[in-house]
Structure 1
Amino acid sequence: MTKQIDSYKRSLIEATANLMGGYPMMFVAGIVILPLSANWIKEDPLVANITITSVYASINFTRSFLLRRLFAKYELHDNLIKLVKNLVRKR
């Protein structure tokens, strides 16, 4: 039973870290991508939407991968606060 709780807690921490890191990144990506693609969406909506979705998916994949590697590097599977403290100490 303890493993399930630990796994649940780790998943919750990882999802929170993903959300905290992902929201600002996607906000900035939207500010950059959407104005650049406004006319393109009118001309070829299918290709434009596939391309925009691919860009967002690539950003999300990269962010998620880097967060997992960061957690693994600092062996932080139980506490997001430890991650922030370790990063601050390194500077």
Structure 2
Amino acid sequence: MSTIKETQRDSHKKSLSEAFVNSFGGYPIGYGLGIVILPLSMGWIQEDPLVANLLITFVYATVSFARSYFLRRIFEKFGIDDNFIRLGKKGVMKMIKTLRGK
């Protein structure tokens, strides 16, 4: 029975790690996409705001879907579990030690 609980806990850690990477990995992609899309759609938004907003939202959703799928495949291919969480913890602890040492 403890094996099932342990597997569920590992699965939760893996899901948390994937969600973290997906969310924070999406920020620079969305930012770069905004730099490209928004200037291109300036005049169009004023002329036809409904269609322009629908298309812009569709582009963002499509890129988000592709990013999520791509990251999911990477996690599955390499069997990444909670490594990002561990790396994050180690990085924060190292920063804290460095700041306290100075």
Counterpart residue number, 1:52: 56
* Deviation at residue 69 of structure 1 after TM alignment: 0.6
* Deviation at residue 11 of structure 1 after TM alignment: 1.5
One-letter amino acid of the counterpart of residue 26, structure 2: G
Q: Which has the higher contact order (CA 8 A, sep 6+)?
A: 2
Q: State the TM-score, normalizing by the size of structure 2.
A: 0.73
5+ residue gaps, structure 1: 83-91
Taking a change above 3 Å as real, the CA distance of residues 81 and 74 of structure 1, as seen in their structure-2 partners, is farther
| SS of residue paired to 2:41 | helix
How many residue pairs align between the two structures?
Answer: 82
Bigger-Rg structure (1/2):
2
**In the aligned structure 2, how far is the partner of 1:56 from the partner of 1:68?**
18
Q: State the TM-score, normalizing by the size of structure 1.
A: 0.81
2:36 paired with 1:40: no
One-letter amino acid of the counterpart of residue 31, structure 2: F
* Deviation at residue 37 of structure 1 after TM alignment: 0.5
CA RMSD for the aligned pairs?
A: 1.7
**In the aligned structure 2, how far is the partner of 1:66 from the partner of 1:80?**
17
| SS of residue paired to 1:2 | helix
5+ residue gaps, structure 2: 87-102
* Deviation at residue 31 of structure 1 after TM alignment: 0.7
Identity %: 56
2:34 paired with 1:30: yes
**In the aligned structure 1, how far is the partner of 2:80 from the partner of 2:44?**
43
